[in-house]
Amino acid sequence: MAMREIRTVGDPVLRTPCDPITTIDDRVRSLVEDLLETVDEDGRAGLAANQIGVGLRAFSWNIDDEIGYVLNPTIVELSEDEYQDGDEGCLSVPGLWFPTRRAWYARVVGHDLDGKEVVVEGTELMARCLQHEVDHLDGMLYLDRLERSVRKKAMRAIREQL
CA dihedral (84, 112, 110, 32) in degrees, to 10, reads 60
* Secondary structure of 83-112 in HEC code, one letter for each residue: EEEEEEEECCEEEEEEEEEEECEEEEEEEC
Contact 89, 47 (CB under 8 A): no
* Residues known to be catalytic: 133
Q: In 3-state terms, what secondary structure has residue 37?
A: helix
Contact 68, 120 (CB under 8 A): yes
